[in-house]
Structure 1
Amino acid sequence: MDKVTLSIGNRQWQGWQSVNITRSLGAVTGEYRISLTQKWRDAERLPIKEGMAVKVIIGNEVLATGYVAERLPSYDGKSINYEITCRDKTKDLVESSVLHASGEWKDINLQAMAKEICAPYGIGVVVETDIGAAFTTIRLEQGESGFELLERLSRQRGVLLTSDANGNLVLTRGSKSKLATRLELGKNILAARGRFSEDSRFNQYIVKGVADALDGWEPSQVSGNQVVIKDNLVQRYRPKIIITEEVFTAEGASRRGQWQRQRAIGQSFSSEITVQGWRMPDGQLWPLNRRVDVVCPIQELNHEMLISTVTFIEDDNGRVTVLNVVPPEAMDIPPEKAKPKDDTGWLSLG
């Protein structure tokens, strides 16, 4: 069985009784909670401090690179427990504010912007998809974190922000790659819990422009501009107005509306599926951002889904992997300029 190792400096720590490792396509930083319980006579003080650089390794595979974020030592009359929480290097992008002399950038694309924001933290940037055109003007909001800034820019380009095993920031989209293994009730699904909701779904997303006088735009020129993205699977009248964060263009507003619609799909239609062990039949760890066939009559699922979150768990009941799957449409924003479709594939609220 694969050992879970925390590699900190020149030391490697193993023998953890409880492990919970989560990576999510919808989150830029993963979280890893690991605990060790020892009897008093066997206990040793762990020289692990918050802020230390750490790698989380399963077997011989590096799963995450980051920092020790929190320590929770506790004890009773019989034993001592050490619980360690680690987070990806990208945690600093989420928690720290951006410092910039002018607070404004001109004619810069998402990749260049991400590299500039990530550089002070020693975080690399990996681009896996088309990032679209350069932004005419970007303005920093007071106190805004690096992630908040990059996330609002990524919405305009239909790009997802996540992290990889080496702690890099990754600019990506929902993968087209599909696993040979499928998830099927009565075969490899141990447990499942679906969420099928109409909350946060609207029949139309109306994206409007905002004035930017410094770029020669007058309010009267901008206020009338709008793009409407429809979700025909929402039958009732439910409009949602969105103000675009950049100077209005039809393409940018269209992509912004599609991003909002697709994320709403992912939030309202998902399934949490538990399988035995941490590896697929081919020996690979269950991956993030891969398509997989799901066959589950109880949830009325017989579709290709996308793995949006992976959680590796070990406790007294053994090892399991919890996979959150969503419709591929939820993470699929077209990278090229095209007239957006009004439907959302096979997805239906029934």
Structure 2
Amino acid sequence: MSAFRGTTAVSASVAGMVLARWTAVDIIRDLSEISGSFILTLRDDIRSRASWPYGTPGEIGPMLLSQRVEISIHGELYLVGWAEDVIPDASEGEAILTISGRDLTGDLADCAAGPEGPVEFANVTLEDLAGQLCAPFGISVRADVDTGAPFEKATIDAAETVLSAIEKHARQRGVLVTSDGVEGLLLTRSGQTRAPSDIRFPGPGVKRSSARFSTRDRFSDYFVKGQTEKAGGKRAKAAPLTPATTPQERVRRYLAGDPASSEGGSKEAAGVAILGHARDREISRWRPHVAMMKSKGSADGAQKQAEWMERVHRARGEEPSHELHPWRWQGGLWRPNALVHVSDSFLRVDRDFLIAGVDLVFDEDNGETASLRLVGPEAYDPEEDAE
């Protein structure tokens, strides 16, 4: 048997044991998923000795399925969750065990909020609503931003998951729902904290720089349309298509309320009566996008929704990524939803980005690597839905 080449920087407390001899580690926390995840691999010395008398003895005992797991990195608690998969694997002379799972909030994405439902809450704040829905799972809820006034009525459908129910109401308050990885659910907004260090490439500790800059999901113009109750059930006249006008010219007239462009602007009281418009001036070719308001609203609400769409699509079209070594920089571990200043001469960027995802990986050949997925600061700005 070769000497141990794994890491003891990660310790996992599970079923009364503290395990800290890992041959492979992969811990992911990302804003695109409510819950963080982990995959930990160890040499299973108990099974190894039971199968082969010449197996090397060690300190690691068996892992148990569906147990609570507390993972610390360099002595700092980083993720608390459940062991959801246990995979034993043996070859001649050696046995390994892989344990994987998600943090505590994984159950919120899977499970029904009100199986006895539908359920209705009256005069409840977002924190209280989330707290009551999370309480049966033993998950705490905290907010680090103002979550606004109470809801007069909050209805939960029988088949709705806990996460879906909370996010539906959080959007009405412009609040981002995420996991803090350790204690439970966090009601916040994007970029409330800063990363432990800036990133400079070329620079010490930065092993790789890459990016995806894309206009695939960006548009030149964003239109949001809706109807007032007065206009409900009625339709506007179709805009005339004439060889003498371009789409851009018809839009200009439409926004200006020119009667020559169908029943544009303020004259459209009999049909689509609410209009919001925003432009992405970096998209030079004609690429219009139209969305309908999700609920009854105002012209101001339509305009805010159009501006939100432009802002978020643009920010998500910027996705730099950097591989760093080691996991801890200047006394802090990398975490998602923090702003970081990036000065990268290769990518030609020198500004703040939002850490959307962190992937902490260890293997015996490459040691510790922290892969950061970055996006524009506005990429996870929550959309404010009308109540």
Q: So what's the TM-score if we normalise by structure 1?
A: 0.81
1:293 equivalent in alignment to 2:341 = yes
Alpha-carbon RMSD across the aligned residues, in angstroms, is: 3.2
- 3-state DSSP of counterpart to 1:42: coil
Amino acid in the other structure paired with 1:199: R
Give 1:61's aligned residue.
Answer: 76
24, 27, 30: which is aligned to 1:18?
Answer: 24
| 1:32/1:262 CA distance change after superposition, 3 Å | farther
Give 1:272's aligned residue.
Answer: 321
| 1:154/1:260 CA distance change after superposition, 3 Å | farther
Give 1:320's aligned residue.
Answer: 369
132, 138, 148: which is aligned to 1:132?
Answer: 148
| 1:219/1:201 CA distance change after superposition, 3 Å | same
Give 1:195's aligned residue.
Answer: 212
Amino acid in the other structure paired with 1:79: E
Amino acid in the other structure paired with 2:338: R
- 3-state DSSP of counterpart to 1:305: strand
Partner deviation per Cα, 1:245-302 (whole Å, 9 max, x = no partner): x55356665665555444433432111100111111x222123322222122222212
The structural deviation recorded for 1:132 is: 3.4
| 1:155/1:256 CA distance change after superposition, 3 Å | farther
Partner deviation per Cα, 1:81-127 (whole Å, 9 max, x = no partner): 21111211100110112215334445544223212221221111111
Amino acid in the other structure paired with 1:201: R
CA–CA distance in structure 2, aligned partners of residues 253 and 155 of structure 1: 15
Partner deviation per Cα, 1:115-165 (whole Å, 9 max, x = no partner): 222122111111111223444554444522111222233333332211114
CA–CA distance in structure 2, aligned partners of residues 204 and 113 of structure 1: 37
Q: Which structure has the larger Rg over C-alpha atoms?
A: 2
In the alignment of these two chains, the number of paired residues is: 330
Give 1:172's aligned residue.
Answer: 188
CA–CA distance in structure 1, aligned partners of residues 227 and 36 of structure 2: 34
CA contact (8 A) 1:222 1:248 kept: no
- 3-state DSSP of counterpart to 1:119: helix
Amino acid in the other structure paired with 1:129: V
| 1:230/1:248 CA distance change after superposition, 3 Å | same
CA–CA distance in structure 2, aligned partners of residues 190 and 135 of structure 1: 48
10, 14, 29: which is aligned to 1:8?
Answer: 14
- 3-state DSSP of counterpart to 1:120: helix
226, 230, 241: which is aligned to 2:291?
Answer: 241
Amino acid in the other structure paired with 1:284: G
Between 173-182 and 21-30, report the one with greater CA deviation.
Answer: 173-182
For structure 1, the 5+ residue unaligned runs are 336-350
Between 223-232 and 311-320, report the one with greater CA deviation.
Answer: 223-232
Identical-pair percentage? 25
Give 2:261's aligned residue.
Answer: none
Q: So what's the TM-score if we normalise by structure 2?
A: 0.74
CA–CA distance in structure 1, aligned partners of residues 94 and 271 of structure 2: 66
| 1:266/1:6 CA distance change after superposition, 3 Å | farther
CA–CA distance in structure 2, aligned partners of residues 314 and 142 of structure 1: 42
For structure 2, the 5+ residue unaligned runs are 1-6, 49-54, 235-269
Give 2:101's aligned residue.
Answer: 86
Give 2:159's aligned residue.
Answer: 143
CA–CA distance in structure 2, aligned partners of residues 197 and 326 of structure 1: 12
Amino acid in the other structure paired with 2:208: A
